[in-house]
Amino acid sequence: MSDIEQNYENDPDVPEGPMLLPLDAWHRAKGGRMVEFAGYAMPVQYEGIIAEHLWTRESAGLFDVSHMGQLEVSGPDGDMEAAAKALEALLPADLAALKPGRVRYSLLLAEDGGILDDLMVTNRGDRFYLVVNGATKWDDIAHLCENLPDEITLNHLDEHALLALQGPKAAAVLASLGLEPAGEGFPPVEELSFMQAAPYWWPRSPADESARPLGISRTGYTGEDGFEISVGAEDVAALADALCAHPSVKAIGLGARDSLRLEAGLPLYGHDMTEAGDPVSAGLGFAISKRRRAEGGFPGAQRVLALLGEGVATRRVGLAIEGRMAAREGAEILDGDMVVGVVTSGGFSPSLQRPIAMGQVATASAAPGTALAINVRGKLLATTVVDLPFVPHHYHRNLPKGAQS
Amino acid sequence: MSRYFTKDHEWVDVEGDTGTIGITDYAQGQLGDITYVEAPEVGKVLARGDTAAVVDSVKAAADVYAPVAGTVSAVNAALEGEPELVNTDAEVGGWLFRLTLSDAGELSGLMDTAAYAEYIKGL
- pLDDT 10s digits, A75-132: 999 999 999 999 999 999 999 999 999 999 999 999 999 999 999 999 999 999 999 9
CB A263 within 8 A of CB A68: no
Residue A324 and residue B8: Cβ atoms within 8 Å? no
User: Do A213 and A326 belong together in one domain?
Assistant: no
Average pLDDT score, chain B: 96
- Summarize pLDDT for B68-86 with one digit per residue, the tens: 999 999 999 999 999 999 9
Residue A124 maps to a domain: no
Q: Quote the CA–CA distance of A390 and A264 in Å, as a whole number.
A: 6
Across the interface, whether the CB atoms of A1 and B63 are under 8 A apart is answered yes
Secondary structure element (H or E) that encloses residue A383, with its range: strand A379-386
SS3 sequence of A197-213: EEEEEECCCCCCCCCEE
Domain shared by A322 and A251, yes or no: no
pLDDT > 60? residue A225: yes
Specify the pLDDT at position A208: 65
* CB-nearest partner of B35 from A2, A7, A348: A348
**Sheet of B97-101: strands edge to edge?**
B2-5, B10-15, B18-23, B97-101, B70-75, B45-46
- Residue B95 to chain A, least CA–CA distance (Å): 14
| Domain assignment of residue A368, yes or no | yes
CB contact under 8 A, A4 and B23: no
Mean of pLDDT values over A11-32: 85
As a whole number, mean pLDDT of residues A283-288 equals: 98
Residue A198 lies in a domain: yes
**C-alpha closest to that of A142 among A89, A69, A93:** A69
Q: What pLDDT was estimated at residue A7?
A: 42
Does residue B97 have a pLDDT over 70? yes
Q: Does A50 touch chain B (CB under 8 A)?
A: yes
Mean pLDDT is highest, among A6-20, A159-173, B54-68, for A159-173
Instruction: Check if B58 contacts A (Cβ < 8 Å).
Output: yes
Rounded Cα distance between B32 and B34, Å, is: 6
Averaged over A224-233, what is the pLDDT?
A: 98
Same domain, A39 and A178: yes
The pLDDT score that the predictor gives to residue B119 is 97
The answer on A164 and A62 residing in a single domain is: yes
Residue A6 lies in a domain: no
For residue A89, the model assigns a pLDDT of 98
Cβ B21 vs Cβ B99: under 8 Å = yes
Asked whether A52 and A166 are in contact (CB, 8 A), the reply is no
Supply the pLDDT for residue A211: 87
Query: pLDDT value at position A241?
Result: 97
Of A208, A31, A230, nearest in space to A129 by CA: A230
Residue A38 φ/ψ region, left for φ over 0, alpha for ψ in the -120 to 50 degree band, beta for the rest: left
Contact yes or no for B30 and A44 at CB 8 A: no
Degrees to nearest 5, angle at CA A93 with A163 and A147: 85
Asked if residue A301 belongs to a domain, the reply is no
Task: Report the alpha-carbon distance of residue A118 to residue A391 in Å, rounded.
Answer: 22
Task: Kindly determine whether residue B56 and residue A350, on different chains, have CB atoms separated by under 8 Å.
Answer: no
- Note whether B62 contacts A: Cβ–Cβ < 8 A: yes
DSSP SS3 for A126: coil
Please list every residue in chain B whose beta carbon sits closer than 8 Å to the beta carbon of residue A347.
58-59
Chain centroid to Cα A202, Å, comes to 25
Q: Is B59 on the interface with A (CB under 8 A)?
A: yes
Residue A8 has pLDDT above 50, yes or no: no
Phi, psi at residue A347, to the nearest 5°?
Answer: 175, -170
Residues of A in contact with B59 (CB under 8 A): 4, 7, 44, 49, 255, 347
Residue contact B9–A48, C-beta within 8 A:
no
> What's the mean pLDDT in A23-27?
98
Count of CB contacts below 8 A, A vs B?
A: 70
How many Å is the Cα radius of gyration of chain B? Answer: 13
Give the minimum alpha-carbon distance from B61 to chain A in angstroms, rounded to a whole number: 7
Q: Is A2 on the interface with B (CB under 8 A)?
A: yes
Contacts (Cβ under 8 Å, ≥6 apart) of A289 = A92, A93, A94, A97
Q: Report CA torsion sign: A344, A345, A346, A350.
A: negative
CB of A6 less than 8 A from some CB of B:
yes
| Residue A351 placed within a domain | yes
Q: Are A339 and A332 in contact (CB under 8 A)?
A: yes
Please enumerate in sequence order all residues whose Cβ is within 8 A of that of A70, keeping only pairs 6 or more positions apart, or say none: A129, A130, A131, A156, A157, A158, A160, A162, A230
Per mean pLDDT, which range of A60-64, A209-213, B15-19, B42-46 is the poorest? Answer: A209-213
Query: Structural domain tally of chain A?
Result: 2
Residues A245 and A166 in one domain: yes
A294 within some domain? no
Other Cβ atoms less than 10 A from the Cβ of A332: the count is 16
Topology classification of domain B2-101: OB fold (Dihydrolipoamide Acetyltransferase, E2P) (2.40.50)
A258 shares its domain with A323: no
Last residue of a domain, one of A228, A246, A262: A262
Separation in Å, CA of A377 to nearest CA in chain B: 10
Calpha distance B22→A365 (Å, rounded): 40
Is B62 close to A325, i.e. CB distance below 8 A? no
Residues 6+ apart with CB under 8 A from A9: none
Q: What is the mean pLDDT of chain A?
A: 94
**Looking at residue A321, which CATH number applies to its domain?**
2.40.30.110
Q: What is the CATH number of the domain that holds A218?
A: 3.30.1360.120
Nearest CA in chain A to B32: A48
pLDDT band at A405 (very low <50, low <70, confident <90, very high): very low
Whether residue B54 is predicted with pLDDT greater than 50 in this model: the reply is yes
Nearest chain A residue to B59, by CA: A255
At position A396, the amino acid (one-letter code) is H
Residue A211 lies in a domain: yes
Please indicate if any CB of chain A lies within 8 Å of the CB of B21.
no
- Contacts with B35 from chain A: Cβ below 8 Å: 324, 326, 348, 355
Q: Is the pLDDT reported for residue A9 higher than 50?
A: no
Q: Torsion-angle region of residue A144: left (phi > 0), alpha (psi -120 to 50) or beta? A: alpha
Look up residue A361 and give its amino acid.
Answer: V
Residue A244 has pLDDT above 90, yes or no: yes
pLDDT 10s digits, A289-317: 999 999 999 999 999 999 999 999 999 99
Q: Look at residue B60 in the predicted model and tell me its pLDDT.
A: 87
pLDDT category of residue B1 using cuts at 50, 70 and 90:
confident
Domain edge (last residue) among A234, A262, A290: A262
* Minimal C-alpha gap between A379 and chain B (Å): 11
CA dihedral A320, A226, A124, A297 (to 10 degrees): 10
Residue A86 belongs to what H/E stretch?
A: helix A80-88
Percent of chain A's residues with pLDDT above 90: 91
A18 inside 8 A of chain B by CB: no
pLDDT above 90 as % of chain B: 96
Among A262, A297, A332, residue at a domain's last position = A262
DSSP string, A45-70: ESS-HHHHHHHHHHSEEEEE-TTSEE
Q: Do A170 and A252 share a domain, yes or no?
A: yes
Residues A250 and A164 in one domain: yes
Inspect the interface and report whether the beta carbons of A4 and B56 lie closer than 8 Å: no
Using a CB–CB cutoff of 8 Å, tell me whether B50 touches chain A: no
User: Is residue A5 over pLDDT 50?
Assistant: no
Quote the domain boundaries for residue A365: 317-391
- Could you write out the three-class secondary structure of B24-38? CHHHHHHHCCEEEEE
